A and B are shown apart, each in its own frame.
Chain A
Amino acid sequence: TQLLEQSPQFLSIQEGENLTVYCNSSSVFSSLQWYRQEPGEGPVLLVTVVTGGEVKKLKRLTFQFGDARKDSSLHITAAQPGDTGLYLCAGVGGGSNYKLTFGKGTLLTVNP
């Protein structure tokens, strides 16, 4: 069974601060996705990283996929209250299934 560990589980910061969320696994994934989920809504895909060592930027969000394709990080610069939500990483399995395995998520609160 492939497992994804996310840390920290909870994070409460002030507006303008920077933060990094981590997603680690002992398994190799064909790709990894990051989602944000707001209360009462389903997860929304932010980015997919495919290549080991890949870095993608989405405005103030920077995503990195580890060289061995087992871990990933999400860095937010100058966090804003609108960034508040549950950040989930999901590994995409290989083979013919492409099944998503989600981590437990990091609940981020950005206070004004």
Chain B
Amino acid sequence: EAGVAQSPRYKIIEKRQSVAFWCNPISGHATLYWYQQILGQGPKLLIQFQNNGVVDDSQLPKDRFSAERLKGVDSTLKIQPAKLEDSAVYLCASSLVWGAKNIQYFGAGTRLSVL
């Protein structure tokens, strides 16, 4: 079974530029998550989708970050404009069910460096 696919693996941009990340979840997984992991910290949830609807985006900096999940499958996360403090690994995860025992499967992440 294929895992969660993310691209690109690495991205280097200058501050104030725009960047987009793509995620393809495991087939059949209705729930999709985007996390930000800053060096030395655990992942922080940015946004959670259930099919193509947003469940939780309370920690998404909406003035610069946006995400969409058209057709309830693939998802893109965009940052515009990027700041130095956005340098982090952006992880996508998906789960089959949504509940207390849900198992999230993570992709390898996109490492973003903002110069």
A binds B: yes
> Which residues of chain A have a CB within 8 Å of any CB of chain B?
4, 30-31, 40-45, 48, 50, 88, 90, 92, 94, 97-100, 102-105
B43 at interface by CB-CB < 8 Å: yes
Closest 6 CB pairs of A and B: A42-B106, A102-B42, A30-B100, A102-B43, A104-B41, A43-B106
Asked whether B42 lies within 8 Å of A88 as measured between CB atoms, the reply is yes
Q: Which residues of A contact B104 (CB under 8 A)?
A: 45, 100
Q: A104 to B40, Cβ gap below 8 A?
A: yes
How far apart are B30's CB and chain A's nearest CB, in angstroms? 13
Q: Chain B interface: which size bin? A: 20 to 34
- State which residues 1-48 of B face A: CB under 8 Å: 4, 40-45, 48
List the B side residues contacting A88 at CB < 8 Å.
42-43
Cβ–Cβ contact B44 & A102, under 8 A? yes
CB distance from B61 to the nearest CB of A (A): 16
Instruction: State which of B42, B99, B108 has its C-beta within 8 Å of the C-beta of A98.
Output: B99
Q: List 27 A-B contacts (CB under 8 A).
A: A31-B100, A31-B101, A40-B109, A41-B106, A41-B108, A41-B109, A42-B93, A42-B106, A42-B108, A43-B106, A48-B103, A50-B100, A88-B42, A88-B43, A97-B55, A98-B98, A98-B100, A98-B102, A99-B45, A100-B43, A100-B45, A100-B104, A102-B42, A102-B43, A103-B42, A104-B40, A105-B41
